[in-house]
Amino acid sequence: MDLIIRDDSRCGTDTVGPLTLSWAANSDVGRVRESNEDAASARPGKYFVADGMGGHESGEVASETALRALDGVACGGDRTETQTALIDLLSTAQRRIDEIDPDARRRAGTTATGLILVTHEERPHWLVLNIGDSRTYRFADGVLEQVTVDHSQVQEFIDAGFITAEEARTDPRRNVITRALGAGMIEPEADFYSFPAVPGEVLLICTDGLTGELPDAEIEGILTDMPAPKDAVATLIAGAHAFGAHDNVTVVVVAVSDTEADELAEADDVTVDVTNDIAEADEVADDAGGGDDDAGGGADTDGDQTGTADSDSTESGGPEGNSAPSEPATEPAAAEDAPV
């Protein structure tokens, strides 16, 4: 099955070392836009989303290019080496994206965020990367925590104390991102975060088409009510639709459990080091609505000359107590001990 998930929903179960990763993904065009420039990817131990931008079809190509490049790194490796490999792959992706439509007034670009399972101090850890305003969250013990910090103009205003996170949700400048892959930027500059991968946690990776519609409290409520990835993804997409789905909406949910506990429960499973059993997920009940009333392409024509890019985005709340974005491999989550 192709790596790229777009206008499609999938789910699966991956067994990676001591952990079982149950996941679901959906990348949905939404109710307003004519095409889906978002995409997601899910391979054992690595889950990413990308939100493309650019004229014609270059946004689609850019997001897909980023995800294909990121797939080049293996999961389970040393954390530092994996981070170095990801930085190289992001540079490769940027070169490819720069070649998509070099003469276009609005250059092709994309955000990218997601996570990969790595080994650190002999224990499984997540290594999270982010560039742009898509987000990775961690949900554990009933609490949703935003791991990544947006690279957006409104995030800078929040950091400076000029506006609140709630005001940022409707600020007219919310579409302007300050970092991206491509989009005329010089070199990709991703932030990295890391924390132990522990049974019981749920990871959420999404584009701004979700967070622009649903406040974090709403997302937290949905994950509390339905931690199973397939149900959570369907409900999150339906929730974005209920609020208008003005942008493409892409959501990946990964639930972590203990492989040995799962085996005791199921008893008849064969253990394989790394498996990726992919199944077609149920379509979301809420119909896309076929809205052809395009938003006027406002975000597609903002030729910003100052090193920022317009991401078609709608940005929501700021970080709450997570770590400094520029510090490599910081540990934003409470470090619970993983069973070895």
- Alpha carbon distance 235, 219 (integer Å): 9
300 binds Mg ion (CB under 5 A): no
Complex with Mg ion: residue 109 or 184, whichever CB lies closer: 109
Alpha helices by DSSP H, listed for 46-78, are: 58-70
Reported residue count of the chain is 340
Instruction: Give the DSSP letter of residue 56.
Output: T
* Distance in angstroms (rounded) separating the CA atoms of residues 150 and 198: 25
Give residues with Cβ within 8 angstroms of 60, minimum separation 6.
6, 35, 36, 37, 39, 52
Q: Which residues contact 210 (CB under 8 A, 6 or more apart)?
A: 219, 236, 237, 240, 249, 250, 251
Closest separation in Å from C-beta 110 to Mg ion: 10
CB-CB contact of 257 with 48 (8 Å): no
Q: Would you give the binding string for Mg ion spanning residues 205-234, x where CB under 5 A is met?
A: --xxx-------------------------
Give least dist CB 159 to Mg ion, A.
21
Rank residues 51 and 191 by Cβ distance to Mg ion and give the closer one.
51
Choice between 22 and 207, CB closer to Mg ion? 207
**Which lies closer to Mg ion via its Cβ, residue 13 or residue 250?**
250
Contact status: 315 vs Mg ion (CB under 5 A): no
Would you give the binding string for Mg ion spanning residues 114-153, x where CB under 5 A is met?
Answer: ----------------------------------------
Check: CB of residue 199 under 8 Å from CB of residue 139.
Answer: no
171 binds Mg ion per the rule CB under 5 A: no
Q: Does 51 bind Mg ion (CB under 5 A)?
A: yes
Closest separation between CB of residue 207 and Mg ion, Å?
Answer: 5
List contacts with Mg ion (CB under 5 A).
51, 207-209, 247, 312-313
